[in-house]
């Protein structure tokens, strides 16, 4: 076991923690992070899909598909980020970049129990766009906004760990690691945007 515990130090010393992991064992707890991180991300992406599936079915789909989603996300984003970081002067191996990505999901894993609390409080409206029940109760509305703030903070922590980790293993500045991430986002996002435009009802007339 790597000491001090990465699950504790990743929050405040991400660069130092990532360096200790990749120098000792880049595969350390990678399967656990991949599975639980994948489930957490799949649950987050399922918001708004409550109109398509019963909530119990939707949660089951997320739990079953989450590990595969985590695996694909880790290896595809690992490949692309490794390539992009090289363009910005990075020196890390692909295995080291995957370790950074996986450990950047630690905040997502930590908040998985919060989904149980969310479901108890908000029920079906947790995954629907309409919030009729929540908005009819002041206390629920306040709690919903508070939890949304926590979710936003988790995204910021994820990005903080990702950029600090990429900077550390690649021996480049944080600004360059952000630039590499933006490059990957453009490479992934632009084709998706073009596809959505093409599939839109008036897409062929544009």
If you count DSSP H runs as helices and E runs as strands, how many of each does the chain have, helices first?
10, 0
- Cα dihedral 54, 55, 58, 59 in deg (nearest 10): -150
pLDDT in tens, 8-46: 999 999 999 999 999 999 999 999 999 999 999 999 988
Indicate whether 188 belongs to any domain: yes
pLDDT in tens, 109-122: 999 999 999 888 88
Q: What pLDDT does residue 157 have? A: 95
Indicate whether 1 belongs to any domain: no
- Can you give the residue range of the structural domain that contains 174? 6-205
Indicate whether 124 belongs to any domain: yes
Mean pLDDT to the nearest integer, 159-182: 96
Handedness of CA 177, 182, 183, 187 (dihedral sign): positive
Mean pLDDT to the nearest integer, 81-104: 96
Q: Is the pLDDT of residue 132 over 80?
A: yes
pLDDT in tens, 187-201: 888 777 777 677 655
Indicate whether 26 belongs to any domain: yes
Tell me the C-alpha distance between 200 and 115, whole Å.
33
């Amino acid at each position: 076991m790597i000491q001090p515990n990465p699950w504790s130090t990743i929050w405040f010393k991400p660069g130092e923690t990532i360096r200790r992991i990749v120098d000792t064992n880049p595969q350390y707890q990678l399967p656990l992070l991949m599975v639980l991180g994948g489930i957490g991300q799949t649950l987050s992406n399922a918001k708004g899909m409550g109109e398509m599936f019963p909530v119990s079915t939707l949660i089951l789909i997320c739990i079953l598909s989450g590990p595969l989603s985590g695996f694909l996300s880790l290896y595809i984003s690992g490949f692309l980020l490794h390539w992009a970081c090289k363009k910005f002067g990075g020196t890390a191996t692909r295995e080291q970049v995957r370790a950074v990505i996986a450990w950047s999901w630690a905040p997502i894993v930590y908040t998985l129990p919060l989904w149980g609390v969310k479901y108890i409080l908000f029920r079906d409206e947790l995954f629907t766009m309409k919030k009729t029940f929540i908005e009819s109760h002041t206390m629920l509305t306040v709690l919903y906004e508070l939890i949304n703030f926590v979710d936003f903070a988790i995204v910021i922590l994820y990005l903080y760990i990702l950029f600090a980790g990429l900077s550390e293993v690649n021996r480049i500045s944080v600004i360059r690691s952000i630039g590499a991430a933006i490059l990957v986002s453009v490479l992934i996002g632009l084709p998706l945007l073009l596809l959505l435009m093409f599939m839109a009802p008036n897409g062929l007339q544009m």
